[in-house]
Amino acid sequence: MKHLKNRLQSGETLIGCWLNLGSSVTAEIVGLSGFDWVLIDLEHGAGEPKDLLHQLQALEHTRSTAIVRVESYQKERIHRVLDLGAEGVMCPRIYSAAEARLAVSGMHYPPLGIRGVAKMVRATGFGKDFASYKSGTAENLLGIIQIETKEALDELDEIATTPGVDVLFIGPADLTVALGIDGDLNHPLFLEAVDRIVKAAKNASKAVGILIFDPADFEKYRRQGIQLIACGSDATFVAAGARELHQTLSQFKNSPS
């Protein structure tokens, strides 16, 4: 365990990015770059669940903590990624406190939750460390609920106070669409929603996260008290690098000899 949850609870601001190519190679490259955490995206990413193991293995020897965004809050999906060794789970498209409770209950063994017990899995050292892993799940596993629906905004306080919910993570794209202001991150409705999310989390002694699209926005959100901040992805890094190099070479190509 890399103890990301403890660092978050101590008040540290933690920077991360998305992994959505499904590639163990880009996962390792990004992990070695020094991010505090990375999010392996099984909701919208190109990778399949079968690719997850190799990405987790590639990240093992880097400083980046591996969080996985599952497709839904179904316990079977959550069990699977945790057994493979994820240290946190992000659940998207949560509509209610009841769904949030189901999501985090899938992360923890009874009596705290409903996670099935399997000892011979990667997370437990294939049985070698099961006792310490089991006793440390509440302390070490990070439960992240995405706030990106109007219904979730209506139940913010109840979601924030749910045991096992450690982070309320703002999904700007879906949330602005839900609010009818597609992509407008400066609209009063979005700014008000962010303020409400931060306030609900603070009142419940929980953290807030967000995905930003412009690195220049980092300081603005940190000043608001948002601690888990992501920007970019392995796909955007590759695409941006390829476009930049092509543009440079094209200038040489088209310049007089």
CA angle 99, 85, 105 (to 5 degrees): 20
Side-chain-facing half-sphere of 257: CA atoms under 13 Å: 0
Strands 167-170 and 88-91: unpaired
The class level of CATH for 4-254 reads alpha beta
Helix axes 24-32, 49-59, angle to 10 degrees: 30
Pairwise CA distance, residues 234 & 75, whole Å: 28
State pTM to two decimals. Answer: 0.95
Domain coordinates of the chain in residue numbers? 4-254
Q: How far apart are the first and last CA of the chain?
A: 57
Among the listed residues 44, 54, 108, 187, the single catalytic one is 44
44 is catalytic: yes
The predicted structure's pLDDT at residue 257 = 67
The predicted structure's pLDDT at residue 217 = 97
The DSSP output letter for 257 is -
Residues of the chain with pLDDT under 70: 257
